[in-house]
Structure 1
Amino acid sequence: HVHTMGEAAAQPAFPALRGLLLLTALTRAVAVATSTQASVVSRATWRPSVLAVSPHEAATLLGGAGRARAIWEQLRQGVDPFDEDALPKTPRARARLLSSLSPPAAETIAQSDSSCGTRKLLLRLEDGLSVECVVIPSPNGLFSTVCVSSQVGCMRGCAFCATGAMGLTRSLTTHEILEQLFAALVACKRNGMPPIRNIVFMGMGEPLDNLDSVKSALEVMQDPFGFALSKKHLCVSTVGPSPQSIRALTSVGARLAWSVHAAEDSLRKLLVPTTAHSMAELRDAFAQVLAERNDRGLMVEIALIDGVNDGLADAEALHALLRPLPGKTRVNLIPYNVNEGLGAVGRQFKPSSSSSVSRFQKYLIERELICTVRETRGDGESAACGQLAVSVRAP
């Protein structure tokens, strides 16, 4: 029997081959059916984290504003609403919660303390990646500040920063930012630390490279039915990647801080290699934002490095750069914190001497700039400014 080409293609000549093709088709069909069934089950059982929905959305899911307020009251106190003792007492309310939402997803897998009371938390995210945040009690013991991260790693590559040496893995979602605050609330509750009053976006990552999530997190932080924090106690710190990204800060509900580190363009490029605009262009963008927001002023941060950016010429250049800014500019001098594992440039850095820091501060104060020196806290546990980096990654 002679087959045409079409017949040969449609009906294999050998029974064994025909059987193999049939088995392959059946295997694929079963796999598709199993995958589809698993997908349906997954969609049916998946529930968002309690911190992935706004207080208003929680009220809709839970069938009333009263229950949502009760849940958020627990969250503000550092209590997981899904703990057995915290669950609603009535079966109906309990079932509604358990079927609608899931517990905070980030897990605190390590904590470390410094002698000054600062506590660093290492959180494992749902995908196995890790991120750090830091709880810093005030010297007078009245309140705590939480330094939160906006990304896993950072693409800005600051030469003195451990996070920059990591590179960028990914940005955090809104609820991953909020879960850092919740983890900090839990740590404060369990360890007798002062209540949390301030939140600063000065951890891992560049907030302007993840602005949508940062803005959404700030909204929940300020929501009177959310974390109920004051706008004046929230601060977003940025290197100012571009004038365009800086101008997007006009609508951000927080105080603003600019990580300058050097006023002179070539030196700034050395310290922040991704700098693509002149410092004057970035300054002018901040001036526009401050005017539109009617802010009282901008905080400017300088990590002082011995023999690099701590001379009087550097102070003079900084004063000239900041002079056109509206409002009261406050300069915060940060003695450089030594980091291991930096690049060739960063490995050479040393902290400025106390005399150099004092001289720099004196120069600015004499020219009517508010200038403070940040107390170094958490450096013993690699929890200080520029030291956050994670070694625990997804498997």
Structure 2
Amino acid sequence: MSGSSVVGSVEVYTAEVPMARPFAHAAHSRRTSRSVLVRCTVAGATGWGEGAPRAYVTGESLDSAVHALLHAELPDLDSVFAGSFDEGVRALAALGLPAALGTAERPAPAAACALETALLDAWCRAHGADAAEALAVVGGGVLRSRPHVPVSALVLDSSRTPGELFGTLSAEARSCLTHVKVKGLPDPGETRQLVRTAREFIDPSRTTLSVDANGAWSPVEALHAGSLLADLVDWLEEPTRPRDWATLRRIERDTGCPVMLDESAVVPADLDAASAHQAATYVNVRVSKCGGPLGSLRMLERARALGLRCQLGVQVAEVGPLWAAGRLLAARVAGLVAVESGRQDEWFEPGLTVPAYTIDRTRHRAAPLPGPGFGLVPSPRLLHSHAHQARLATPPLTTRTPA
């Protein structure tokens, strides 16, 4: 860019924060968060964004996400924010950042999420606007008329037994549960037994239950799992390798167990393919996986148009801006079958964000933060103790003026 610039500095950081306890499932075990953070200025205001690159989800690593951000060639960002607040939001949504930071064949949604969220946060702050106002500009078709803080799902991963997880809950906390997700084990038969044990702690008449295999089962194992679990779960999430549409369709058709897409659904075209193959009933939308809050709205709108019902999920160990963006979407999107909010208050030391993580563990609710923007910034403790700056660039990224 040259001349007077609306978009100023962009700083890229990596953040790796030890977790107080591990989180494990059939595809991966995690003891440390690994996020890419972006800080930028737009119209004199500072915004923060975060992406959570996970190789088994989108093929991105922390290094590849940083590389994508540092070597991006984007349309002129000044032109994106040259008009009104609404025009800037629409122009940002139209950029197609996952493909711009990667390629159409191999997008970089986690890197895109960090940049999109930072730019959107800064643009809202420059206008004194809550990020909810930005969502309303482009996502009216899936948004509630008034915010509603949903009950968050409880996730049982393989680092704890059902007794250890549910034993920490009061009777009131158990009664408030509306959804429990069980992370699948490598063996479908052992997963069935785990589910049966988990069901002893919940009331199926008011609490739905799902199993998430994170794509770890072979097609044969996934079909067997569908047969074993059809009478115990409300849906089976990502039971086999991503985009194996034929196997996913067989699970739905032959076992009667509804399928939820996760790693198979990164861009709207994935939803079109799944619908064409009649391969799913549900889709899990995650902000980092889908390229940011605006990208997630595109996925939610496309899913609704195709008749797919949606869950709003999280990436494990989101450290701040990503968590805040998810809480806002959770309170604003209508018709979700389940919502996740993570366990940042248990995984991380206090004081990593301003304000701190706030989760009601009795009623399982995590309210969105008041603006402007997404209402949260990484704390000095997070930046000084756990983050490393990859580069400070002004102008931030290689940009090109449209021909």
Name which one, 1 or 2, has greater alpha-carbon Rg.
1
Higher strand share: 2
Higher helix share: 1
Q: Which has the higher contact order (CA 8 A, sep 6+)?
A: 2
Structures share fold, TM-score greater than 0.5? no
TM-score when normalising by structure 1: 0.36
